[in-house]
Amino acid sequence: MSNIVPMADIQKMAQVAADSKMFGFKNQAEAMAIMLLCQAEDMHPAIAMRDYHVIQGRPALKSDAMLARFQTSGGKVNWTAYTDEVVTGLFAHPQGGEVSISWTMEMAHRLGFTKKENWRNYPRAMLRARCISEGIRTVFPACVAGVYTPEEVADFTPPKGAKVVDVVPDPEPDAEPEVELSVHLYKPDGTIYASFETEAEAYQAYYKVVDSIAANARIPEDEKLEKLRAFKRANQAWMEPETDEESAE
């Protein structure tokens, strides 16, 4: 059965979705853009109303929908910790191997997320959404290339004083920052890719690079996964710093 829907019908569907105020679309254009995205992925445009939100002008794939796509494609997840303080999932996929991803309230606090009402009221759900997104991006990025969960988008903040360089060229060595940029995003070879004032801004840039690698059709899948893992290892120190106990060992 084909999921191709005539443009005139998509316009009508988008208008209904926007007018209903039920799906987070502010206007017909937002709804239509997401519906066209679904159709491009060979899904019926109505899936947009079930699986997507538009948060701060960005398309956001609900974490449950993201996990459902992952599992449909052959992925598996085993939740080994699931509390209001820490959520850990073991993600596995035939094409990407296996990885354990943990998100803690301590990490969320360092990134400034816990000041927001959703993090205070629903900590476990927010930690779970973050685990789902990071776990799937790590073992099977093709499933989520270019989209974030609503929880991630809500935590995005506009970069303040960030000096960001292009993904491909090296940063200019003689360039002087205008403000003190204390959080560095590193390339796999250990050189600085970009610098930021806060970890939240660095985290946002990190995921943009991940999406850029995942969406690059010129890179073979096995090489793509190795690049993603190398990029994460290079930034492990500031993303998941050692505790006092770990440092003492």
How many Cβ atoms are within 10 Å of 2's Cβ, its own excluded?
6
Rounded CA gap, 195 and 163, in Å? Answer: 6
In this predicted model, what pLDDT tens digit does every residue of 152-177 receive, in sequence order? 555 554 444 444 433 333 344 444 44
- The amino acid at residue 124 is R
Residue 19 pLDDT > 70: yes
**Which spans in 158-218 are helix H?**
199-214
Interhelix angle 123-139/221-234, nearest 10 degrees? 130
In this predicted model, what pLDDT tens digit does every residue of 103-140 receive, in sequence order? 999 988 887 888 888 888 999 999 998 899 889 888 88
- The amino acid at residue 76 is K
Region of 112 on the Ramachandran plot (φ > 0 left; ψ -120 to 50 alpha; else beta): left
In this predicted model, what pLDDT tens digit does every residue of 33-75 receive, in sequence order? 878 777 777 777 777 777 776 666 666 778 888 898 899 989 9
Rounded CA gap, 47 and 35, in Å? Answer: 7
Q: 87 or 50: whose pLDDT is higher?
A: 87
